C-alpha cells in the first residue's frame, strides 16, 4: 500500500530548506497547515482553480447584469422630470433612507420608478446610481407645481403614464425631456420662483378680532404698503437672520432676489386669500417664510419698518417664521442652459409651455384646495399670528430669550 505521509514529510523538509534561501512566505503557509491539507493543495489540479474562478466571475456578472435585457432594450438616458405635488402629509421632498418612518415625496417617486421598470431595483436603494438630483429641496408640508429632477432612467414606452400609475393622486409627473449627460438640475438652475398663498387676515391690525377672520377684507392701501415692503427685498442682501445656524460673515448668506410682490386678493370658501410671488437665484432653509413673516409683523404694527434694514446687518435679529402651509415651488429656471444647448438641434429647451394647462389643473385640483381647506379648518395663520407679541424686534436675539419668556408668562396669565 502506497504511503503518502513519508513523502509529505520529505516534501515539507525540502520546502523548509528552500525557506533558508528566501522563500519564507511559502514555508510559513505550509507549516501552519496539517499534512493532509498540504497534500490536498499539492495534489489539487490547476483546472479546479480555474473552475472556481469562473464560477465567481459568473456570479459577479449575474449580479451586475441583473437587468441586462431591459437595459439592452431600453438604454438608460439622462432626462429631467417635471413634477407637481401637494406636500401635506409629507416630510419634505428629499429622501432619507436612514429615517424611513418619515415619508417624503422622493420615497413615493423612487418606488414608482422601480415599479414602472424605469430604474433597476438596486438604484432605488442608492440614488447616486441613477445620478438623481432635485432642483429644490422643499420642506415639510411645502408643495410644488414645477419641481424638476434630473436622473438616468430607461426610456420605456408610455413612460409618464406608467410612472403615474404607481404614484398617489397628490404627486404627478407632468413632463419629461432629454438633457445633456452632465446636466445637474440643482447646479444648472439659474433661479427659482415660489408662491405663498395666505389669508389676507394676516395683514389685519394687531387688535383685529381673529374670530371674524372670514369677514376680513384687505384694503388697497394696506396691499400697496405690503408691496412697497416686499420691494425692499429686491437685490442682494445678507439673509443670515432669515435662516438657522448661519453666521453673518458666511458668504453663502448673501442671496439675490429679483422679484417679490403680493397679488390682488380673491375669495375662496368665504375667506379672502392673496398670493405672494418671489423669485430669486436660490433660497436658504426657511428664508421665504421669514421674509414674509417679517413684513406681516411690520404691517400689523409689531415691528418698525427699520427692522428690515437691521436684519441685513451684522447683528442677530429675531425674525418670525410664517407657517409653511401656503408655500409652493411654482417653477424653476434654466436660462443659461437654454441659451447654450436649447438651440443646438439636439436638446430641447427646458421650458414647459405645453404643460401649462396640466400644471394649472393640478394646482386647482390638489394644491390650492388643500391649502384653503386646511387653513379654514385648522387656522394655522391665525394661530401663528398669536405668537407675534412674543417677539422683541428691537433687541438682538441674545437679549430676547428672557423677554420672550416674560411675555409668554404675561400672555398666559
Residues labelled catalytic: 139
Is residue 74 marked as binding? Answer: no
Alpha carbon distances (Å) from 403 to 55, 144, 315, 319, 322: 73, 38, 18, 15, 21
C-alpha 52/C-alpha 336 separation (Å) is: 54
CB of 275 closer than 8 Å to CB of 261: no
Residue 110 DSSP symbol: H
Q: Rounded to whole angstroms, how far apart are CA atoms 155 and 396?
A: 55
Separation CA 144–CA 332 (nearest Å): 10
Rounded distance between C-alpha atoms, residue 257 and residue 281, angstroms: 7
**Look-up of cell digits 417653477:** 331
Please, are residues 231 and 223 in contact by the beta-carbon 8 Å criterion? Answer: no
Q: Give phi and psi for 175, each to the nearest 5.
A: -165, 160
Q: Are 388 and 320 in contact (CB under 8 A)?
A: yes
Positions at the binding site for substrate: 194
Positions at the binding site: 194
Amino acid at each position: 500500500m502506497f504511503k503518502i505521509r513519508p513523502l509529505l514529510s520529505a516534501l515539507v523538509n525540502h520546502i523548509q530548506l528552500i525557506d533558508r534561501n528566501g522563500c519564507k512566505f511559502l514555508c510559513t503557509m505550509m507549516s501552519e497547515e496539517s499534512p493532509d491539507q498540504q497534500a490536498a493543495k499539492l495534489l489539487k489540479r490547476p483546472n479546479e482553480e480555474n473552475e472556481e474562478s469562473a464560477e465567481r466571475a459568473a456570479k459577479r456578472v449575474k449580479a451586475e447584469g441583473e437587468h441586462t435585457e431591459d437595459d439592452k432594450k431600453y438604454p438608460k438616458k439622462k432626462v429631467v422630470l417635471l413634477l407637481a405635488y401637494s406636500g401635506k402629509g409629507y416630510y419634505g421632498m428629499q429622501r432619507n433612507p436612514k429615517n424611513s418612518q418619515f415619508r417624503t415625496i422622493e420615497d413615493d417617486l423612487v418606488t414608482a420608478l422601480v415599479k414602472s421598470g424605469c430604474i433597476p431595483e438596486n438604484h432605488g436603494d442608492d440614488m447616486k446610481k441613477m445620478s438623481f438630483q432635485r432642483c429644490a429641496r422643499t420642506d415639510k408640508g411645502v408643495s410644488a407645481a414645477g419641481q424638476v429632477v434630473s436622473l438616468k432612467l430607461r426610456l420605456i414606452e408610455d413612460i409618464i403614464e406608467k410612472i403615474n400609475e404607481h404614484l398617489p393622486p397628490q404627486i404627478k409627473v407632468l413632463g419629461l425631456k432629454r438633457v445633456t449627460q452632465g446636466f445637474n438640475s440643482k447646479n444648472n438652475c439659474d433661479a427659482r420662483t415660489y408662491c405663498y398663498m395666505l389669508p389676507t387676515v394676516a395683514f389685519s391690525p394687531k387688535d383685529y378680532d381673529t374670530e371674524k377672520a372670514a369677514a376680513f377684507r384687505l384694503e388697497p392701501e394696506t396691499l400697496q404698503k405690503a408691496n412697497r415692503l416686499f420691494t425692499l427685498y429686491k437685490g442682494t442682501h445678507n439673509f443670515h437672520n432669515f435662516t438657522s445656524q448661519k453666521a453673518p460673515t458666511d458668504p453663502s448668506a448673501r442671496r439675490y432676489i429679483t422679484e417679490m410682490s403680493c397679488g390682488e386678493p380673491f375669495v375662496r370658501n368665504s375667506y379672502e386669500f392673496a398670493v405672494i410671488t418671489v423669485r430669486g437665484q436660490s433660497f436658504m432653509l426657511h428664508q421665504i417664510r421669514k421674509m414674509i413673516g417679517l413684513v406681516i409683523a411690520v404691517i400689523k404694527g409689531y415691528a418698525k419698518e427699520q427692522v428690515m434694514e437691521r436684519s441685513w446687518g451684522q447683528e442677530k435679529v429675531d425674525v418670525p417664521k410664517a407657517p409653511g402651509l401656503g408655500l409652493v415651488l411654482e417653477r424653476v429656471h434654466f436660462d443659461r442652459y437654454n441659451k447654450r444647448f436649447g438651440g443646438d438641434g439636439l436638446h430641447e429647451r427646458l421650458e414647459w409651455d405645453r404643460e401649462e394647462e396640466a400644471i394649472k389643473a393640478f394646482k386647482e385640483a390638489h394644491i390650492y384646495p388643500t391649502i384653503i381647506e386646511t387653513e379654514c379648518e385648522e387656522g394655522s395663520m391665525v394661530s401663528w399670528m398669536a405668537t407675534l407679541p412674543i417677539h422683541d424686534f428691537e433687541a438682538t436675539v441674545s437679549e430676547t430669550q428672557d423677554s420672550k419668556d416674560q411675555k409668554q408668562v404675561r400672555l398666559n396669565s
